[in-house]
A and B are shown apart, each in its own frame.
Chain A
Amino acid sequence: MTFSSANLDRRIGNDAQILWRIVRLCLRHRGRVAIAVGATLVAALFQLAVPQLLGSAVDGALGLLDTENATATAARAALFQTAALLLGASILRGLFTLIHNYMGEAVGHRMAYDLRLAFYDKLQSLSFSFHDQVHTGELITRGMLDLEGVRMFVSTGLVRLVLLTVLIGVGAYLLLSTDLLLGALSLSFVPFVAWRSAVARLKLRALWLALQERMGVIGRIMDENLTGIRVVRAFGAENYELAKYGEAADAAMELADKRIKTRVASTTIMTFAFFIAMGLVLWVGGLRVLEGRLTVGDLTEFLAFMTILQLPVRQLGLLVNSFARASTTGRRLFAVLDLEPTIADRPGAKPLEIKDSHVRYENVSFAYGGADSPPALHGVSFDVRRGKSLGIVGPPGSGKSTIAHLLTRFYDVSDGVITIDGQDVRDVTLESLRRQVLTVPQDPFLFTTSLENNIAYGDPWAEDESITNAASLAQIDTFIGTLPEGYGTLVGERGVSLSGGQKQRIAIARTAMLQPAVLILDDSTAAIDAGTEQQIRELLKAPMQTCATIFISHRLGTLLHADEIIFLEGGRIVERGTHESLVAQGGRYAELHALQNQLADDFDSGPSDMQGAAQ
């Protein structure tokens, strides 16, 4: 099974299905959606009332010129009424616009809230095999930008769709029913602008995406230059770096220019089309006024209508853009949300019951990429129980860490069985399994929070005492004591930066605090010096009595005292026994032992060679 992003996105259905799915998500908040749509309708109608009121105001003001003085008061009263209506319509339009905009945003944000939680929950539950194959940056993009694209669809897509439909539809009806030819002329710019705006938007979207990518390259070049500044300086590569940057900047600038040109070409032509239509209305309308078939007020009404319609018509492009964006971003987001974790509790899974922490691998085989891929482990069997320890050694890629990953069910075995106290790890709950089996990884992840929060990661409700005990067990307490803020010191850029060895010691403390039934040390002392490692091992002796321990290491000193050592090569156990018996055996283990002891002597011939070269 592979999760490459192309594969991932294919299964989600067509664009219409995706958009419909977003609509369904909105409908979870149907009360608010109803208010938003209702308010949109009302706001649009009030807005459409404004040109008519303006028209009648003009006619009202003109009315007196043709009639007797007797109606002067009536004309004034009519004007007063029109002004009041106009003010009222404006206020109500404003209020309902507020409601529909706010509700549109609110529905979008609430839907985003639901999606954010669902996405986070999904990521936490997806298995290692998924996370191995999908790039971190890719997931972050989906959870942030793509989710944002889906959220925006509510206000920029759905609500706007309603608004534009009503404004343009009802507006067009009113204009056409007043005067067919003049109405048609007033609307003549609509199809052209709508078409231009949609085409340009889609083109601009493509250009924008391409530009973002090129800007990303520039960002990466700058970032690497700053991070690797010592390499740059050491090689005197400033000019090379400037040239590299210049090339990327030129490529980005080219697109940036193209984007501006495309945008400007389309916006200016749209404005021009609008004004041409206005000119035609002015001309034909003017002729009708001259003929007496139309009042000046009617003409004003047409012109005012056009002004009101101009913006919504231009926004049709944004609408198209919003639909396009929502369907691509929705596809990418739902692709993740629809995944099922490959590793989960079986129906009826029971909690793991620990009797004497007896770990047993029976003929375990495993391949990372499924049955067709080369196996990482092949027929591995061993036993280890409470108070005992197993050492695993072997060249890189021999499958050492894989053994650890299978025991905690980060992956499931392809063949064979792993049991703890007779219970298949696949038959117990993940929660109970991972509470009892803990791994200290080689490259632990430290969080940007206080040291104590980092140590208490597995049990945030731990008492101070157990945190300090764990820290002293891992030989990190003295160091923490030297920090002005002690356990409250933040880890990271603004706090304390830790060496590899210190990080590993935090990870040991983090794990030891939880008192697991099975403890796996996966090369977790590699960056700790031999002396400290020795001390940690002494201190671990007591807790190790209550658990089964598996050591994985390339440093033989770490494994020396294990009750059994297995030597892995190509996923198979090639040798097994105690340190002494393996050395005596004279095989691969003994070879490695000799190599590690002789690395120093091996290089002894160096100086004479080098002197030879120099002379």
Chain B
Amino acid sequence: MTATTDGAPDQPERGRPPRAYVGSQISQDEEMFGALFDGGVVRRFMTYVRPYRRQVLLAIAAVLVVTGAQLAIPLIIRFGIDDVLLAEGGNAKLLALVVAVFAAVITVNFGANWLQDRLIGITGEHVIFDLRQAMYAHLQDVSLSFMDKTETGRMMSRLTGDVNSLQEFLENSVTAFGDLVLLFGIVVIMLSMDFGLGILTLSVVPTLFIVRMIWLPRARVAFRHARETNSSANGALAEGIRAVRTVQSMRRESVNFDLYDEKVQENLNSHLKSAQMAQVMVPIVDTLTGAAMGIVILVGGFQVLDGALEVGVMVAFLFYVQRFFDPIRSLTIQYSVMQRAMASGKRIFEVLDVPLAIDDAPNAFNPDSIDGSVEFRDVTFSYVKNQPVLQDVSFTVAPGETVALVGPTGSGKTSITSLLHRFYEIDEGAVLIDGRDVRDYAKAALGRHIAMVLQDPFLFTGSIFENIRYRTVDASREDVERAARVVGAHDFISQLADGYDTILEEQGRNLSLGQRQLLSFARALVADAKILVLDEATANIDSHTERQIQVALKRLLEGRTGIVIAHRLATVRGADRIIVLQSGRVVETGPHDALVAQGGLYARLYALNYASFDDVPDEQIK
């Protein structure tokens, strides 16, 4: 056994650290930074930008105008000083002209600035919404075998976190473009005004670049660590809240407090470290700015004294020096943003590249109604190659007949129901509905004619009414109420304060399991499909609700073809016919009495008198 040593408080009197931990022991982090530039990612991303290319071009034009205005302002001041204030013929009229030009430039700047920020912000937002919607829509059609293997939490982090980092990238890249132009413009103007002074002043720039490049990876480590300790401490807090009843009843308060203290202490230290890292650049940038200004004053000033330079140039230089550190700072930030975006983009396009395993045939069959006969003909199926979960399974179900699927865990019951709905493609054989291969049907047709009740009744946030109606949006209030009455859910619904308008939260946690079960029955009833597939809940429900459910089940199956994965003896005995499965093969089939008389697997299961066949230990079956 391994005792966790991390994060354990000092307990010298106990001799060793406790077997205790608060928060998750599992780090959820994915790779944060990718290559600086990934052509594939950028190209694909551009396909989402293309619909907005007019806005983007306009934004770029606006950025150029804004940058031009920024560059022009010190030049206007320089002209004002050298050619008006200090010149021979300088007068108030000429000054007014300079001010008028200044006014024109800042007005243009105002308009272009407004246009630029608005276009960048809104376009970025829209591209990102499009991308997220594309991912979401894609996931609706992705094969279930992919979804089975995917953790919801990780998928969510791609849909939110990764998408956000692309948004950041998109917004920053247009301004980064502006920064580059600005930097370039400043360099060109400085050099052309006075080449020697320009070169000297700009000599501080490489220093800043080098310092930042050395600083960046270290700072990133510190920032990342701070972020990790944050999520780890927050995770521990969330756990402490969720588990508070267990904590109090097991008297773990003080142990947990000490463990949490350690986590928060670590969080504090990492944040102090990252604050140091963030701030250490401040004096460096200030020193370099001071040095650049010092150079301008010394070298430029001496030249002015010698009459070799106009003082306006010196003033313009001083203004440019104050400006050119900003773009350098934001460009180095953009470096990280880009790396992060490339990693995120890769993950996003991975999702969009998941193939749609099952697609409708060009002229898929989409009947208005079906009779509801089902046939499995020599079906072999595997999730993983060469590990078949169903082998040569054949059976038929007549319209209106109810068949119970029985067998130990892993015998293939759930696979049968999934294949009927064509959630997966079979390896061999055929699944037929009304004598026609399910692969010929449109997906929508299968969804309409086969209703499913899952073992764990899933409810959505929203009213009870919306949950029962679900996809059948044309169902009226009366239809919903009728369905609820039939399955016996009406009574408890009408006892709720808001009746059918009661809002269910967190997947219906405010209802009992039995009640949720009844709602999912009502949902299937409103869908009014000819074939009903039902995976019975295994969890124990109190006897009263249990009885209600049995009655509801009976009503639900009236006039429909039923395929029921049955766990309860009561349900099994209620079926017209029982199909007994073992290790992916049909081993027995027939009505209850006949199977009991036959003395096979079913008879043995039955004799053991377990409440559910799933509970029967393996050794009892062999």
Known: A90-B293, A257-B122, A530-B609. 15 other contacts (CB 8 A): A94-B282, A128-B245, A228-B460, A233-B423, A235-B471, A256-B125, A268-B117, A272-B107, A279-B106, A290-B84, A290-B91, A448-B23, A461-B19, A602-B547, A613-B559
Complex: A69 Cα to B533 Cα, angstroms: 105
Residues in B neighbouring A600, C-beta threshold 8 A: 569-570, 573
CB distance B250 to A76 under 8 Å?
Answer: no
CB distance B19 to A124 under 8 Å?
Answer: no
Name the contact of A615 in the complex, choosing from B237, B400, B575 (C-beta under 8 A). B400
Q: Name 25 interchain pairs, CB-CB below 8 A, sorted by A.
A: A54-B318, A61-B301, A61-B314, A83-B295, A86-B293, A87-B290, A105-B271, A109-B272, A120-B237, A120-B240, A120-B256, A140-B238, A225-B139, A228-B460, A249-B133, A260-B118, A278-B106, A296-B81, A441-B246, A448-B24, A456-B20, A492-B26, A530-B611, A531-B615, A613-B558
Q: Which residue of A lies closest to B557 (CB)?
A: A610
Q: Which residue of B lies closest to A148 (CB)?
A: B230
CB distance B106 to A276 under 8 Å?
Answer: yes
CB distance A236 to B260 under 8 Å?
Answer: no
Stretch at the interface among A164-172, A238-246, A353-361, A420-428: A238-246
Contact of A68 with B by CB under 8 A: no
Q: Is the interface of B mostly helix, strand, loop or mixed?
A: helix
Q: Which residue of B lies closest to A134 (CB)?
A: B241
Contact of B617 with A by CB under 8 A: yes
CB distance A614 to B314 under 8 Å?
Answer: no
CB distance A595 to B547 under 8 Å?
Answer: yes
CB distance A396 to B297 under 8 Å?
Answer: no
Contact of A549 with B by CB under 8 A: no
CB distance B573 to A240 under 8 Å?
Answer: no
Complex: A139 Cα to B244 Cα, angstroms: 12
Q: What 1/0 flags go to A208-250 for Cβ under 8 Å of B?
A: 0000000000011011111111111111111011100110010
Within 8 A of A (CB), among B12-35: 14, 16, 18-21, 23-26
Q: Which of A60, A117, A120, A457 has the most CB of B within 10 A?
A: A120
Q: Which residue of B lies closest to A88 (CB)?
A: B290
Q: What 1/0 flags go to B297-311 for Cβ under 8 Å of A?
A: 110111011010001
CB distance A238 to B140 under 8 Å?
Answer: yes
Complex: A6 Cα to B451 Cα, angstroms: 43
Q: Taking the nearest CB of chain B, how far is it from the CB of A431, in angstroms? A: 6
CB distance A219 to B160 under 8 Å?
Answer: yes
CB distance A236 to B446 under 8 Å?
Answer: yes
Contact of A144 with B by CB under 8 A: yes
Residues in B neighbouring A93, C-beta threshold 8 A: 286
Complex: A240 Cα to B472 Cα, angstroms: 9
Stretch at the interface among B38-46, B94-102, B335-343, B381-389: B94-102
CB distance A610 to B554 under 8 Å?
Answer: yes
CB distance A98 to B283 under 8 Å?
Answer: yes
CB distance B286 to A102 under 8 Å?
Answer: no
Within 8 A of B (CB), among A450-483: 450, 452-453, 456-458, 460-462, 464, 467
CB distance B302 to A490 under 8 Å?
Answer: no
Complex: A289 Cα to B87 Cα, angstroms: 12
CB distance B283 to A94 under 8 Å?
Answer: yes
Name the contact of B451 in the complex, choosing from A235, A431, A487, A492 (C-beta under 8 A). A235
Residues in A neighbouring B247, C-beta threshold 8 A: 124
Residues in B neighbouring A121, C-beta threshold 8 A: 257
Residues in A neighbouring B98, C-beta threshold 8 A: 282, 286
Contact of A500 with B by CB under 8 A: yes
CB distance A113 to B264 under 8 Å?
Answer: yes
CB contact under 8 A between A236 and B443, given known A279-B102, A434-B249: yes
Complex: A233 Cα to B420 Cα, angstroms: 12
CB distance A90 to B289 under 8 Å?
Answer: yes
Contact of A318 with B by CB under 8 A: no
CB distance B544 to A395 under 8 Å?
Answer: yes
Complex: A542 Cα to B611 Cα, angstroms: 27
- How many residues belonging to B are interface residues under a CB distance threshold of 8 Å? 179
Name the contact of A445 in the complex, choosing from B246, B470, B570, B610 (C-beta under 8 A). B246
Complex: A89 Cα to B155 Cα, angstroms: 52
Complex: A500 Cα to B538 Cα, angstroms: 10
Contact of A439 with B by CB under 8 A: yes
List the 9 closest pairs (A to B, CB-CB), nearest first: A236-B447, A90-B290, A614-B400, A529-B615, A94-B286, A460-B18, A94-B283, A234-B452, A606-B574
Residues in A neighbouring B156, C-beta threshold 8 A: 219, 222-223, 226
CB contact under 8 A between A554 and B275, given known A87-B294, A434-B248: no
CB distance A289 to B85 under 8 Å?
Answer: yes
CB distance B576 to A610 under 8 Å?
Answer: yes
CB distance B252 to A458 under 8 Å?
Answer: yes
Q: Which of A57, A95, A299 has the most CB of B within 10 A?
A: A57
CB distance A531 to B617 under 8 Å?
Answer: yes
Q: Taking the nearest CB of chain B, how far is it from the CB of A205, in angstroms? A: 17
Stretch at the interface among A177-185, A300-308, A327-335: A300-308
Q: Which residue of B lies closest to A151 (CB)?
A: B271
Within 8 A of A (CB), among B201-258: 233-234, 237-253, 255-257
Complex: A615 Cα to B559 Cα, angstroms: 8
Q: Taking the nearest CB of chain B, how far is it from the CB of A68, in angstroms? A: 13
A-B contacts, CB under 8 A, total: 480
CB distance B129 to A110 under 8 Å?
Answer: no
Within 8 A of A (CB), among B87-130: 90-92, 95-96, 98-99, 102-103, 106-107, 109-110, 113-114, 117-118, 121-122, 125-126, 129
Stretch at the interface among B146-154, B173-181, B185-193, B580-588: B146-154
Q: What 1/0 flags go to A104-143 for Cβ under 8 Å of B?
A: 0110011011001101110111101001000010011001
CB distance A76 to B305 under 8 Å?
Answer: yes
Contact of B399 with A by CB under 8 A: yes
CB distance B241 to A396 under 8 Å?
Answer: no
Q: What 1/0 flags go to B271-285 for Cβ under 8 Å of A?
A: 110011011101111
Contact of A599 with B by CB under 8 A: yes
Q: Taking the nearest CB of chain A, how far is it from the CB of B440, in angstroms? A: 16
Complex: A237 Cα to B151 Cα, angstroms: 21
Residues in A neighbouring B36, C-beta threshold 8 A: none
- How many residues belonging to A are interface residues under a CB distance threshold of 8 Å? 168
CB distance A602 to B276 under 8 Å?
Answer: no
Residues in B neighbouring A408, C-beta threshold 8 A: 249
Residues in A neighbouring B255, C-beta threshold 8 A: 460
Contact of A540 with B by CB under 8 A: no
Complex: A225 Cα to B545 Cα, angstroms: 28
Q: Taking the nearest CB of chain A, how far is it from the CB of B510, in angstroms? A: 11
CB contact under 8 A between A120 and B260, given known A83-B297, A219-B160: yes
CB distance B90 to A290 under 8 Å?
Answer: yes
Q: Which residue of B lies closest to A253 (CB)?
A: B129
Complex: A132 Cα to B102 Cα, angstroms: 66
Complex: A496 Cα to B290 Cα, angstroms: 60
Contact of A42 with B by CB under 8 A: no
CB distance A97 to B248 under 8 Å?
Answer: no
Residues in B neighbouring A2, C-beta threshold 8 A: none
Name the contact of B117 in the complex, choosing from A267, A531, A604 (C-beta under 8 A). A267
Contact of B265 with A by CB under 8 A: yes
Name the contact of B21 in the complex, choosing from A87, A287, A453 (C-beta under 8 A). A453
Contact of B415 with A by CB under 8 A: no
Complex: A95 Cα to B282 Cα, angstroms: 8
CB distance A143 to B237 under 8 Å?
Answer: yes
Q: Taking the nearest CB of chain B, how far is it from the CB of A108, in angstroms? A: 9
Contact of B432 with A by CB under 8 A: no
Complex: A457 Cα to B540 Cα, angstroms: 26
Complex: A588 Cα to B40 Cα, angstroms: 72
Q: Taking the nearest CB of chain A, how far is it from the CB of B257, in angstroms? A: 6
CB distance B77 to A282 under 8 Å?
Answer: yes
CB contact under 8 A between A116 and B573, given known A60-B301, A599-B546: no
Within 8 A of A (CB), among B585-622: 591, 608-612, 614-617
Contact of A325 with B by CB under 8 A: no
Name the contact of A439 in the complex, choosing from B110, B249, B300, B573 (C-beta under 8 A). B249
Q: Taking the nearest CB of chain B, how far is it from the CB of A439, in angstroms? A: 6
Contact of A275 with B by CB under 8 A: yes
Residues in B neighbouring A113, C-beta threshold 8 A: 264-265, 267-268
